[in-house]
């Protein structure tokens, strides 16, 4: 199985690691010679897909499956155009992606179909959260303490911009993935999303403190949303638990970063193998398993000797990453560590019990501080 992954940032990093775990041969394509995932793949092809550089076209044609791992409209259009022209298999649902990339459009879908979601300003009580309709990774997300603050912010923005203002919910955030095609969907391990001070996700953990009832409800919401957008491929659904009720924050029909490797470490399920099955075989081929191990996927950065846990944004500034097993007592690490330098990395660990996992995480922190 040979997979061509288009985009070598954070989604690409996730995809290449999943490919390795699935035993797939990976070719990573990116125009940036220093793309963070460039050294992780079996082969790196540096070239521009929008310009249709010949080495890129050759790499795409050579692969059994193409996975777009980016949120760049021009790049996505180019992959679709080339795949259609050359008759290549693309693990991507452009139509569902168009709905989910716009929060205005997907929120409308929630409201029209009675899917619980945060109330839109001016309904609900302050504080409010303000976010751009078409960004991701928490870019541009801010909190407003009062209606006056919301009004001041909105009137400071140029006309024509699409902003969403919702009630600010204080409960924990959870995520679930759904894969498949109409009539045949699977959902996977629910993960908890831990945010840093700027609403950027700095750690993902599983399993979650949800009741079996809530888990079932969340899986049902995900399948319902998948049917509503007529999903063929993968989508993630993010919720906040508001006094026990799960309210949908957003959906995204594309391979996410962070949660897939946490789910793999906890359950044993690999989203990339699942995607390969449905796109190449037309259905799921492996038995669904859930080992329910305790897993964590987290980011650390060292700056001037200080160890900081931060959201994944800082990973975009990393030097090309390398994959390690047993690095500084982390079972898996994907980082740009070099002797006696600051570093940025992803650290993934799993254990049979929560206590054991806590011990592993504490040891990891101590160990990272002591690295030369
Ligand atoms: N209504 C809300 N209440 C509380 N926090 C929110 C709300 N909406 C968004 N957030 C926070 O901001 C983060 C990013 O918002 P989200 O809607 O997921 O957009 P994106 O991930 O596409 O930037 C969320 O993960 C959450 O931490
Ligand atoms: Mg989000």
38-94 pLDDT, tens per residue? 999 999 999 999 999 999 999 999 999 999 999 999 999 999 999 999 999 999 999
**300 CA distance to ligand 1 middle (Å):** 22
| Domain assignment present for 46 | yes
Closest-lying ligand 1 atom to the alpha carbon of residue 195: 27
Q: Do 217 and 256 share a domain, yes or no?
A: yes
Q: Do 188 and 157 share a domain, yes or no?
A: no
- Tell which one of 100, 107, 129 to mutate to probe ligand 1, the residue whose CB is within 8 A of the most ligand atoms: 129
- Mean pLDDT, residues 12-35: 98
* Ligand 1 near 143 CB (within 6 A): no
At 172-227, the pLDDT tens digits run 999 999 999 999 999 999 999 999 989 999 999 999 999 999 999 999 999 999 99
What percent of the chain has a predicted confidence (pLDDT) above 90? 96
| Domain assignment present for 97 | no
**Which residue, 250, 281, 312, sits at the end of a domain?**
281
| Domain assignment present for 114 | no
| Domain assignment present for 56 | yes
Q: Is the pLDDT of residue 233 over 90?
A: yes
| CATH number where 185 lies | 3.30.470.20
**250 CA distance to ligand 1 middle (Å):** 8
| Domain assignment present for 101 | no
The CA distances from residue 94 to 28, 45, 68, 87, in Å, are 20, 24, 10, 16
Say how many C-beta atoms besides its own lie within 10 A of residue 15's C-beta.
Answer: 31
**12 CA distance to ligand 1 middle (Å):** 22
| Domain assignment present for 324 | yes
Say how many C-beta atoms besides its own lie within 10 A of residue 50's C-beta.
Answer: 14
Q: Looking at the CA of 136, which ligand is closest?
A: 1
Whole-model pTM over 0.85: yes
Nearest CA to ligand 1 atom 19: 138
Q: Do 184 and 207 share a domain, yes or no?
A: yes
* Ligand 1 near 131 CB (within 6 A): yes
* Closest listed residue to residue 235, CA positions, set 213, 216, 215, 259: 259
**Which residue, 258, 281, 304, sits at the end of a domain?**
281
* Ligand 1 near 252 CB (within 6 A): no
**201 CA distance to ligand 1 middle (Å):** 10
| Euclidean distance between CA atoms 288 and 269, whole angstroms | 7
Q: Give me the domain span that covers residue 364.
A: 294-370
| CATH number where 48 lies | 3.40.50.720
- Mean pLDDT, residues 323-350: 96
Nearest CA to ligand 1 atom 26: 199
**Whole-number pLDDT of residue 339:** 85
- Report the helix count and the strand count for the chain, using DSSP H and E: 10, 18
Q: Do 181 and 275 share a domain, yes or no?
A: yes
Q: Is the pLDDT of residue 340 over 90?
A: no
| Euclidean distance between CA atoms 354 and 352, whole angstroms | 7
Q: Do 157 and 201 share a domain, yes or no?
A: no
Q: Do 159 and 257 share a domain, yes or no?
A: no
| Domain assignment present for 109 | no
**147 CA distance to ligand 1 middle (Å):** 19
**Which residue, 253, 281, 309, sits at the end of a domain?**
281
Please give the distance of CA 285 from its chain centroid, rounded to a whole number: 24
* Closest listed residue to residue 297, CA positions, set 337, 327, 338, 257: 257
- Tell which one of 125, 131, 257 to mutate to probe ligand 1, the residue whose CB is within 8 A of the most ligand atoms: 131
* Ligand 1 near 21 CB (within 6 A): no
**143 CA distance to ligand 2 middle (Å):** 15
pLDDT band at 305 (very low <50, low <70, confident <90, very high): confident
Number of domains comprising the chain: 4
pLDDT band at 262 (very low <50, low <70, confident <90, very high): very high
| Euclidean distance between CA atoms 206 and 217, whole angstroms | 17
């Amino acid at each position: 199985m040979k997979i061509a992954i288009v985009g070598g940032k954070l989604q690409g990093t996730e995809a290449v690691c999943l490919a390795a775990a699935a035993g797939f041969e990976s070719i990573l394509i990116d125009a940036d010679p220093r793309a963070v995932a460039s050294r992780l793949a079996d082969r790196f092809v540096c070239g521009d897909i929008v310009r249709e550089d010949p080495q890129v076209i050759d790499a795409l044609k050579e692969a059994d499956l193409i996975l777009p791992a980016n949120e760049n409209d021009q790049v996505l259009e180019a992959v679709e155009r080339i795949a259609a022209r050359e008759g290549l298999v693309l693990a991507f649902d452009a139509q569902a992606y168009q709905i989910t990339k716009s929060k205005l459009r997907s929120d409308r879908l929630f409201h029209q179909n009675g899917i619980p979601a945060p109330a839109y300003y001016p309904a609900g009580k302050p504080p409010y959260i303000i976010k751009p309709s078409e960004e991701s990774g928490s870019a541009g997300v801010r909190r407003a303490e009062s209606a006056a603050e919301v009004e001041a912010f909105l009137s400071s923005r140029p006309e024509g911009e699409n902003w969403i203002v919702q009630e600010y919910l204080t409960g924990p955030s959870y995520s679930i993935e759904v894969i498949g095609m109409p009539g045949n969907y699977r959902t996977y391990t629910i993960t908890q999303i831990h945010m840093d001070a700027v609403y950027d996700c700095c750690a993902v953990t599983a399993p979650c403190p949800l009741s079996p009832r809530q888990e079932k409800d969340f899986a049902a919401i995900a399948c319902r949303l998948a049917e509503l957008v007529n999903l063929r491929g993968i989508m993630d659904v993010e919720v906040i638990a508001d006094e026990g009720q799960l309210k949908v924050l957003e959906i995204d029909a594309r391979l996410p970063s962070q949660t897939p490797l946490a789910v793999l470490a906890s359950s044993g399920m690999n989203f990339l193998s699942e995607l390969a099955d449905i796109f190449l075989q037309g259905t799921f081929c492996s038995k669904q398993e859930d080992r329910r191990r305790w897993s964590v996927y987290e980011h650390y950065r060292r700056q001037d000797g200080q160890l900081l846990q931060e959201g994944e944004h800082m990973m975009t500034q990393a030097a090309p990453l390398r994959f390690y097993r047993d690095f500084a007592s982390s079972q898996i690490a994907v980082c740009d560590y070099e002797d006696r330098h600051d570093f940025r990395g992803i650290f993934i660990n799993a254990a049979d019990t929560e206590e054991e996992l806590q011990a592993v995480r504490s040891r990891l922190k101590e160990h990272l501080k002591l690295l030369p």
